[in-house]
Structure 1
């Protein structure tokens, strides 16, 4: 399933974020690094509050981030940071993100490749079958929240 990550409608999960004066850079707009922090907050909240609910404990770590910046944001303001599962593989999953300004315009999209981690060896490991099955249900649902 190929989704347009710039479309707010593909995300069932979002966090509302305040843009901070501390995030303004020398060019007068919100720094690109702040975009990543806003999207990280959505990803962590999504994984903790949605994906992990009712699943056996598992851990993932960021293996790669791919970001496309679409437009500037300015202080003061608000943003909506969205996240949803896109793909599930044996040892990794892909989470898609969209960041939208206060007028609902997409300002950035991000794909995070998350690697399944064995906490004892600190090496990648396959997802357990029940975890992988649940993650696949989230990924194939219309809004990333499951069937």
Structure 2
């Protein structure tokens, strides 16, 4: 797996406060990094409204992660994201974090996100405008 396989890239830097007493980035921060990348993908590619008070939107139904290496301060991070499958009401988004231009990721994840009505707590069909936005950005994706 390499960064070129991803269609959406976000950049950030490890902050001094991201590190724990052992001097490496705390494991919970990896999830924050991919959260930032996922939100950027949703906003920039899907043009979805994530503002407080929205009636519908994405929730995470399933998340798997794999720690492949350590991160230390300072480090420049590039997080790649891509949608690999679209169902009726859900989509699978993969992410990988690459550090300091290295070819192998230090962290990978796969998440299933579900389009839902927040008040009802029920899944909804992903709107056609979002399906088209994903297709326009990703090209061929399973389920589209």
Is contact 2:117-2:124 (8 Å) kept? yes
Residue 111 of structure 1 is matched in structure 2 by 110
What CA deviation, in whole Å up to 9, does each residue of 1:62-120 have, x standing for no partner?
11111011111111121111111111011110111010001323101111110111134
Gaps of 5+ in 2: 49-54
- Tell whether 2:46 aligns with 1:48: no
CA shift for structure 1 position 135? 3.2
What CA deviation, in whole Å up to 9, does each residue of 1:22-78 have, x standing for no partner?
11123221111111111111110011011227xxx9611111111011111111121
Q: TM-score, normalised by structure 1?
A: 0.80
Cα RMSD, aligned residues only: 2.2
- Tell whether 2:34 aligns with 1:13: no
Give the length in aligned residue pairs. 134
Gaps of 5+ in 1: 1-5
Is contact 1:88-1:139 (8 Å) kept? no
- Tell whether 2:97 aligns with 1:102: no
For residues 106 and 112 of structure 2, the distance between their equivalents in structure 1, rounded to whole angstroms, comes to: 20
